[in-house]
Amino acid sequence: MLGSAALRVRSTLDLGAQTMVDDAGRSPRRAEVVMTRRIDLRKASAMDTSTFFSEMALDLHDAPNAESTIERIAEYAKIATSCDEAGIMLVHARNQIETAAATSKRVGESHNLQIVHDEGPCLDAIEGQDHYMSDDVSVDPRWEKWGPAVAELGMRSVLSLRLATKSRRYGSLNLYAEKVGAFDDDDLAVATIFVRHASIAIANAHNEEGLQVAIDARKLIGQAQGILMERFSIDADRAFEFLRRQSQTHNVKLRYVAEWVVDHRNSPDATFSVPDDQSQPVS
C-alpha cells in the first residue's frame, strides 16, 4: 500500500512509461504488461508519491472508455492500499445503484448482498458520510444482515469511500480485506487522496463519453431529418418536428426515433414501433 514500509507495485495493466525508480535506483524502463517496482513510500520523497498518482492519472486518461477507466481504478486501489479486493458501485439513472467494477467474484457478491439487504458501507458511503471503515464486518452492528453474510465470503475488513466531485456524486470505492483490522489511518489517508483522483477520472470519462454520445446523436438526428426531407418533400424544421412529435407520443428518446428512421430508410411502409426496453420518460 502507499504508506506501508515498502510497496511492490504489481499490475496486469499496461501502464505505459513508469517513472518511479526501482530498488537499485536505476532509471525506469517502459513498463511491460506485467511490471514490478519496489519503493518505500513512507520514507520516500513526496515526488515518489506524486509520481504514482500522476502516472495513474495519465493511464486513466488514456483508457478507451468510461468502463475501462473504472476497471483500472479498482485495480489501482489494490496497489495503493492494504486491501485484498476492490470494487466500485455507481449511481445510474433514477438512482439505480449497480456494480461497475470488481476485482473478484466475491466483490460482486458482496455488492449484490447490499442491494438485497438494503444495507452496507458501499451504499452508506453514497448516501451518508464520505467514508465508512469496519475492522470486522461480522460483528459490526451497523450492518447486522450484510456483515455476517460477507464474512462468510471470507472478507472481514472493509473501507468504503464516496466517489464524487463538487457537482455530482458517482458512487463508492469499496476496499475489502480478508483479515480483521486490516485498515488503519494510513490506509484511510491514502484512500482519501486516491478517491479524489478516481472521482476526477470518472467525471472526465463520463464527460468525454457524454460529449461523444451527444455528437453521435446529433449526427443521427441529422441523417433522419435528411431522409424525411427527401421522402416527404419537407424542410428541416418540419422533419425535426416530426421526430420530436414521435418522441413525445411514444415516450422515447429523440435519438431512438432518429435511429429507427435511419434503420428503416429502405422500408417506407414500415410502422414505427417501440420495444419495451426503450420506453422511458423523455428528459
Please give, one letter per residue, the 3-state secondary structure of 154-195: CCCEEEEEEEECCCCEEEEEEEEECCCCCCCHHHHHHHHHHH
CA angle 4, 5, 9 (to 5 degrees): 70
pLDDT tens readout for residues 42-78: 333 333 677 888 888 888 988 888 888 999 999 999 9
Please report which confidence band the pLDDT of residue 212 belongs to, taking 50, 70 and 90 as the band edges: low
* pLDDT at residue number 273: 63
The partner residues of 39 in beta bridges, in order of sequence, read 7
Q: Please name every residue paired with 101 in a beta bridge, in sequence order, or none if there are none.
A: 88
What letter does residue 16 receive in the DSSP assignment? Answer: S
174: confidence class by pLDDT, cuts 50, 70, 90: very high
Element (H, E) at 99: strand 97-102
Give domain limits for the chain: 1-62, 210-278
Query: What pLDDT is stored for residue 281 in this prediction?
Result: 41
Tell me the per-residue pLDDT of 131-154, one tens digit each, with 9 for 90 and over: 999 999 999 999 999 999 999 999
CATH number of 210-278: 1.10.10.10
CA angle 45, 47, 52 (to 5 degrees): 115
Amino acid at 106: R
pLDDT per position as a tens digit, 28-42: 332 333 333 333 333
The answer, yes or no, to whether residue 214 has pLDDT greater than 80, is: no
pLDDT tens for residues 105-137? 999 999 999 999 999 999 999 999 999 999 999
pLDDT of residue 199: 95
SS3 251: coil
